[in-house]
Amino acid sequence: MSNLPTPHISAKKEDFASTVLMPGDPLRAKYISDNFLTNVKCVNKVRNMLGFTGKYKGCSISVMGSGMGMASIGIYSYELFKFYDVENIIRIGSAGAIADEVNLRDIVIAMGACTDSGYANQYNLSGTFSPICDFNLLEHAISSARHLNNKVSVGNVYSTDIFYSDKEVIEKWKSMGVLAVEMETAALYMNAAKLRKKALSIVTVSDCPLKELFLSAEERERGFCNMVKIALDTAVSI
């Protein structure tokens, strides 16, 4: 019995490229497909979680929304890895700056993801699992950023289930050298580890919660082009 289509993705297996870029916002996925890809085909509309496949520099690339939070990206990334034979997922999302040296619109690449989530409980491990990215994707992303003359910060992010965290909580993660806070990376990295796939999270700072600075929704949707270019160049170089 076929697992396709899944409850959340209506595409055929061949509709997805081996590498998928995943913004949280499905409208950002549409913006990327409209402005960066050619020969675009819409491959998913279920629950308005838009997915597209097209060409970038002659290579087949897919882009699809992940939704908000680890529960949502956990579902979509699992189905793409498990049932659609996707090999690489590059998250391209937003994050809140924690470290003093990280500011609005800065790009952070998550080498690892600390978390307060119970997502890893499903694996019944006897200790604490440390979710990390794929080194090959990380290496290519850093190279792409340098080629594009984009400064990036590389290190730990904090993946949380709570959007409105108390500042005292964020300050504690800051004291451990964490660069930014977001809501998806840890689950993506765990799915990739479990299924022997590759994942990377590249995020642009949309707010600085400790400084009370924020970008508008429109700026978040359309103002992350440098991050997108790094992700696309990474996708075609692997």
pLDDT, tens digit, 9 for 90 and up, residues 204-214 = 999 999 998 98
How large is the average pLDDT for residues 158-183? 96
214, part of any domain: yes
4, part of any domain: no
Q: Is the pLDDT of residue 1 over 50?
A: no
Q: Which amino acid is at 147?
A: H
110, part of any domain: yes
Helix 70-83 to helix 185-195 angle (10° resolution) is 30
1, part of any domain: no
* Domain of residue 32, CATH code: 3.40.50.1580
Cβ atoms of 88 and 19 closer than 8 Å:
yes
pTM value? Answer: 0.96
Q: How does residue 229 score in pLDDT terms, banded at 50, 70 and 90?
A: very high
Q: Which long-range contacts (CB under 8 A, 24 or more apart) does 124-133 make?
A: 129/190, 129/193, 131/159, 131/185, 131/186, 131/189, 131/190, 131/193, 132/189, 133/109, 133/189, 133/199, 133/200, 133/201
**What range defines the domain where residue 132 resides?**
13-237
| Residue 219, pLDDT score | 74
8, part of any domain: no
120, part of any domain: yes
Work out the percent of the chain whose per-residue pLDDT is above 70: 98
Please say if 207 is a catalytic residue.
yes
Cα–Cα nearest to 160, from 138, 183, 194 = 183
111, part of any domain: yes
5, part of any domain: no
Number of domains into which the chain is organized: 1
pLDDT tens column, 117-167:
999 999 999 999 999 999 999 999 999 999 999 999 999 999 999 999 999
Instruction: Please identify which of the residues 106, 134, 207, 233 carries the catalytic annotation.
Output: 207
Q: Is the pLDDT of residue 95 over 60?
A: yes
